């Protein structure tokens, strides 16, 4: 009997495309596996007129898929890692990390606009993006905006925004790179932890013999360092704290932004550490220590 894998996904075009990327990698790993993408609308997709901070944070984008996994209605779920809560149910852990795509943020301009200036209206509901973009464009006005890529682009042209920000990886996955106005380097705007990486969740007691064939170790170690930074910094789902790791061979460069809610100020820094050894778990622990170490260093500087 052929194995059949039911892949859970949100309903948006981007979410389905991300599920298709993982589906294709599963098929490449084992052509005998049959796959089916099961879509569902999450609470976060349904409530678009309120900020995430007011309705429960990023967990609202995974709640329904988590339940489907636990109830056995799907076999795995696929998420953009940046949209996942820092704390994951241990019964449905992250089992694999997809190869990282462009981690940068990108500015999309309304037609007829090519640059931001004093008084420009920027649509973003991300405190992380707002905080850092203020440094680059101090005269801008920020207004909240929610919705998938297509919804935000429609709002850009219809609701008085001059620009909005999106993850470059999402545009690339949709083949919409031509819409990009200006890419922001990771030095200018540190990305959200996990940005550009796909996460595959599954049940801890299930057998996934093909899993190691789709797991990207470089993305795994970068993701672990970034998410450990956010956890150590006390960053929740709506915190502007951010982290981005770049692993090249055995050297990891880790960028971090720590925001103090109490002092309403932030600090950025970058460190370089070695991540070496043959044992994967040992390398994971080194990545964890790098994330925690940078967070403690930044927390102590404010």
Cα distance between residue 99 and residue 49, in whole Å: 33
Q: Which of 141, 143, 194, 201 is nearest to 167 (CA)?
A: 194
- Residue 101, classed as helix, strand or coil, is coil
Q: What is the DSSP letter of 149?
A: H
Cα distance between residue 270 and residue 258, in whole Å: 11
Q: What angle do CA 243, 249, 253 make, to 5 degrees?
A: 25
Contact 190, 13 (CB under 8 A): no
Contact 56, 163 (CB under 8 A): no
Please give the helix or strand (H or E) that residue 267 lies within, else none: strand 265-274
Query: Which residue among the candidates 83, 102, 105, 162 is catalytic per the annotation?
Result: 83
| Burial class, 29, CB count within 10 angstroms (exposed 0-12 / middle 13-18 / buried 19+) | middle
Contact 173, 21 (CB under 8 A): yes
Q: What is the DSSP letter of 138?
A: T
User: Catalytic annotation on 83?
Assistant: yes
> Which residues are tagged catalytic?
83
């Amino acid at each position: 009997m052929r194995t059949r894998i039911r892949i859970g996904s949100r309903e948006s075009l981007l979410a389905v495309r991300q599920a298709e990327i993982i589906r294709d990698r599963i098929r490449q790993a084992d052509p005998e596996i049959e796959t089916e993408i099961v879509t569902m609308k999450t609470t976060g997709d349904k409530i678009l007129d309120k900020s995430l901070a007011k309705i429960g944070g990023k967990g609202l984008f995974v709640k329904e898929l988590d339940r489907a996994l636990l109830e056995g209605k799907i076999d795995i779920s696929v998420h953009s890692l940046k949209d996942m809560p820092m704390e994951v149910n241990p019964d449905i852990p992250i089992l694999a990390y997809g190869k990282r795509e462009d981690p940068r943020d990108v500015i999309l301009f309304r037609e007829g606009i090519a640059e931001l200036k004093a008084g420009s209206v920027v649509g973003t509901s991300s405190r992380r993006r707002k905080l850092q973009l203020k440094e680059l464009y101090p005269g801008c006005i920020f207004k909240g905006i929610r919705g998938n890529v297509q919804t935000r682009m429609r709002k850009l042209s219809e609701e008085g925004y001059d620009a909005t920000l999106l993850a470059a990886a999402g545009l690339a996955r949709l083949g919409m790179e031509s819409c990009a106005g200006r890419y922001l380097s990771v030095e200018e705007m540190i990305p959200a932890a996990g940005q550009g990486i796909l996460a595959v969740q599954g049940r801890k007691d299930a057998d996934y013999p093909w899993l190691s064939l789709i797991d990207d170790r470089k993305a795994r170690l970068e993701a672990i360092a970034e998410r450990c930074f956010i956890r150590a910094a006390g960053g929740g789902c709506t915190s502007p704290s951010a982290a981005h790791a770049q692993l090249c061979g055995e050297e990891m460069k880790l960028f971090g932004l720590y925001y103090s809610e109490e002092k309403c100020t932030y600090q950025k820094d970058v460190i370089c550490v070695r991540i070496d050894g043959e044992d994967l778990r040992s390398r994971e622990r080194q990545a964890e220590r790098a994330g925690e170490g940078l967070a403690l260093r930044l927390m102590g500087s404010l």
